[in-house]
Amino acid sequence: MVISFRTRRVCLVLCVLLSALTLVLQNLWIPEGSEEQLPGKPRASEALPQYGVRKLALRLETLSSQIQALKRDNIPDRLDSLAETLQILQKDHESSMHSVQKDLAMVWEKLDTLLKRSLAGGDTPHRTPLTGMPDSEVCKIPNDPAFPLCAGKVEFLQAHWRSDPCYAHYGVDGGACSILAYLSDREDFCPSLPGRNISQGPDKTHPKEGKEEAVIRADLTPLLEIIGTGRGPAVRFMQSRIERLAGRWARAGERIREKLHHKPQAQLKVLLHPGVLAGGAGERFGELAERGGPLGELVQWSDVATALFILGHKVTFSTTLPELHRVIGAPPGKGSCPIQVPLPFDLLYTDYHGLAQLQACMGLSFNQYRCRFRVLDSFGTEPAFNQGEYSRLHGYRTAWGSWELQPRQYMTMFPHTPDNSFMGFVSEELGQGLEEDIQEHKEPNLAVVYGKQDYMWQGKESYLEAISQVMKLHGTVYQETGSPTRIPGYVLNHGLLSQDQLLELLKRAKVRSQHPYAEDFIGKPYVWTVDMSNSTEVQEAVRTILHSQVRPFTPYEFTREGMLERVFTYISHQDFCSLTPQPWPPENTLLARLGSLGESCTAVCLQAALVCEPAHFQLLNKPDTFSSLGLNCSSTSVEVNHLFPAYNERARRCSLQREWLLFSCAGSDNSHKRLCPCRRYQPGQVALCQGCL
């Protein structure tokens, strides 16, 4: 009888909860046209201040856009009335939100009372006791202008403290004292209570202060132990690559030590968390690694881990969610609370999957430590896709963007866009003896198409057939046993090859497919760019290649030494945590250029044998920059647009950038000439300016 009675009581409470939430949501989201209109009677939605927060927000956005357009078109006579309307709507919006918050607080207060009654006498969750609690008489909500959000947070927790076990873990029991203690000790929203001098907030010191000096290492055995065993095929792939190339990494470490002239670098604690390997998605990714899946990402993770370890940093490696929670100190629960201790890592290398996992378990700490994140992002994230509100309003929103990190915190596999940091990976290097062996065994008419799965070959038949008439085509496409093939019959398919087997095949090849990086930064005679739809042009290029003699060549930035040099420089100079970081690259490396209509800054700089440097946009984002470039401004505005700073020649309008996260080398249109910050770069090392090492 007791069990049955309590079950019905809990069900009743849940029903009341759902009913109350439904009523609140109905007040918030009254759909357009859902009410019956009576003659002479205004709609209910027009009579209630909280009728449609969503509709008000949309109207505010529309009016703001209209006002900006009118300003640009020099129509001031209508601006006053529009501005007045906008202010009225903003007041209505604020009034609506305040009314909604009061309604929700009242509902949750009543529900919390019911829940306390229904759970009376039951088990309570494990809690971390709050020591030194003051007398209840002093636990009044403070009215302190230095903590303007304190009262609202107390009210919120009084209603929602049971929503996540992490609050009880930190000692919250619903009472004012425990809530105020939590909000002062853990979240920094309220002043400390009398008699409590506990400070466990985030470590806000510069990550590199007070550190030991990093010493370049030669033995990679400890790194293999850190990565560990029994983690699945993806990690086994990484371990095999590290172990196979360990000797070459050690020699590269010695060379970079001499090249850097023993420049000191602080030893950092670094967490590597490939989020794509964690959880159920990680298991599927691991399986794909043995069936032609995205091995490029695993190559990059292997090389990043090795470079950091060789350079002398303390590396931690995690590939599961429980492991991630443990190493960062996440409390039990759903991720509403901050981590238990200051973040023990100076840098966190992860991917987009890992960002979502960190956000889910770090609570408020995610934003407090976001400056320490480094995101391995194969193809890069341009600023227009990174800024959340802007991407939503202008059609750039994607499933992987809108994290609003500094664009240079995204680290790419190739230098796709200068807006991000080019991390790269290591290509196989050839010794003198191996070069001679390759020249001796190279087959003059063998071409390798590097497409690991058959869908990559679809729609390219005419291009492949044109090459096949001159050369023998080889492929490395994974196929299930007994499954039908979808690649042309004139292609000799070797199936999925190991790294050693693939290298042996490439040694024999005269040609293989390339990509834009090779076109922009390598060029002929190693790279030939052709129109794939022009069979004649393709065949002529192939015949020219057949009669050419070139020695094997690896760009310096894809060697072990080049990658070590790049990672060392990033760690030494990239600072996204300080309010006033040391400028890098140095300001004197700026070379300002004015683009043509329809040109991105990436293209403008490349045409001058330079590279766009996004760190220098703030130096150009000034009114006097236009005059220094010989431009006459009839008007100057400051707006949010990823193409700005820029010049509209027809209207003689000069536009500056308001949102620094939108400084972008990418992007162009046919009405603006962009102001572009260019710089010179080291030969073979596009990520570094000349003399910046």
Q: What is the pLDDT of residues 76-133, one digit of tens each?
A: 444 454 555 455 555 554 555 555 455 544 544 444 444 444 333 333 344 455 555 5
| pLDDT confidence tier of residue 210, bands split at 50, 70 and 90 | low
Q: Is 215 exposed, middle or buried (0-12, 13-18, 19+ CB in 10 A)?
A: exposed
Long-range contacts of 145-150 (CB under 8 A, 24+ apart): 146/191, 147/189, 147/190, 147/191, 149/189, 150/183, 150/189, 150/190, 150/191
Sign of CA dihedral 683, 686, 689, 691: negative
pLDDT of residue 617: 98
| pLDDT confidence tier of residue 146, bands split at 50, 70 and 90 | very high
> Of 431, 363, 439, 376, which is closest to residue 405 (Cα–Cα)?
376
More confident residue, 289 or 437: 289
Contacts of 568 (CB under 8 A, 6+ apart): 256, 260, 265, 311
Min mean pLDDT across 333-342, 396-405, 481-490, 509-518 is at 509-518
pLDDT of residue 48: 34
* Rounded mean pLDDT, 178-186: 93
Q: For residues 268 and 570, what is the distance between their CA atoms, to the nearest angstrom?
A: 13
More confident residue, 513 or 166: 166
The single-letter DSSP state of residue 556 is G
More confident residue, 261 or 146: 146
More confident residue, 434 or 187: 187
* Rounded mean pLDDT, 228-242: 87
Min mean pLDDT across 127-136, 506-515, 683-692 is at 127-136
Q: Is the pLDDT of residue 145 over 70?
A: yes
More confident residue, 524 or 577: 577
Q: Is the pLDDT of residue 69 over 50?
A: no
Q: What is the pLDDT of residues 409-457, one digit of tens each?
A: 999 999 989 999 999 999 876 555 555 555 555 677 888 887 777 777 8
Q: Is the pLDDT of residue 47 over 50?
A: no
pLDDT of residue 206: 52
Q: For residues 576 and 587, what is the distance between their CA atoms, to the nearest angstrom?
A: 17
Q: For residues 682 and 691, what is the distance between their CA atoms, to the nearest angstrom?
A: 8
176-185 helix and 150-160 helix, angle to the nearest 10 degrees: 120
Q: What is the pLDDT of residues 356-395, one digit of tens each?
A: 999 999 998 999 999 999 999 998 999 999 999 999 999 9
> Of 377, 376, 394, 373, which is closest to residue 385 (Cα–Cα)?
394
Q: What are phi and psi of 32, to 5 degrees?
A: -60, 130
Q: For residues 362 and 337, what is the distance between their CA atoms, to the nearest angstrom?
A: 7
Mean pLDDT computed over every residue of the chain: 80
Contacts of 544 (CB under 8 A, 6+ apart): 528
- DSSP states of 456-512 as a string? GGTT-HHHHHHHHTTSEEEE-----TTPPP-S-TTEEE--S--HHHHHHHHHH-SEE
Q: Is the pLDDT of residue 501 over 60?
A: yes
Contacts of 182 (CB under 8 A, 6+ apart): 130, 157, 167, 170, 171, 172
| pLDDT confidence tier of residue 203, bands split at 50, 70 and 90 | low
Q: For residues 59 and 38, what is the distance between their CA atoms, to the nearest angstrom?
A: 25
Q: What is the pLDDT of residues 617-645, one digit of tens each?
A: 999 999 999 999 999 999 999 999 999 99
Q: Is the pLDDT of residue 496 over 80?
A: no
Both tokens of 443, joined, read 């087959």
Q: How many CB atoms lie within 10 A of CB 396?
A: 19
Percent of the chain residues topping a pLDDT of 70: 73
Q: What are phi and psi of 591, to 5 degrees?
A: -125, 105
Residues in the chain: 693
The structure tokens 């390759």 sit at: 438
pLDDT of residue 208: 56
Instruction: Enumerate the β-bridge partners of residue 655.
Output: 637, 646
pLDDT of residue 441: 59
Bridge-based pairing of strands 611-612 and 673-679 is: antiparallel
> Of 318, 307, 314, which is closest to residue 272 (Cα–Cα)?
318
pTM to 2 decimals?
0.75
> Of 391, 389, 318, which is closest to residue 358 (Cα–Cα)?
318
Cis upstream peptide for 645 (omega within 30°):
yes
Q: Is the pLDDT of residue 571 over 90?
A: yes
pLDDT of residue 665: 97
Which residues in 118-127 are b (16+ Cβ under 10 Å) and which e? Answer: beeeeeeeee
pLDDT of residue 38: 31
SS (H, E, C) 248-313: HHHHHHHHHHHHCCCCCCECCEEEEECHHHCHHHHHHHHHHCCCCCCHHHHHHHHHHHHHHHHCCC
pLDDT of residue 189: 93
> Of 510, 571, 520, 572, which is closest to residue 544 (Cα–Cα)?
510
Q: What is the pLDDT of residues 255-269, one digit of tens each?
A: 999 998 878 899 999
Pair 58, 73: CB distance under 8 Å = no
pLDDT of residue 31: 34
Amino acid in position 209: E
Q: For residues 108 and 238, what is the distance between their CA atoms, to the nearest angstrom?
A: 51
Q: For residues 347 and 375, what is the distance between their CA atoms, to the nearest angstrom?
A: 11
> Of 47, 82, 78, which is closest to residue 62 (Cα–Cα)?
82
Q: For residues 587 and 616, what is the distance between their CA atoms, to the nearest angstrom?
A: 7
The structure tokens 């040694």 sit at: 507
Q: What are phi and psi of 416, to 5 degrees?
A: -65, -45
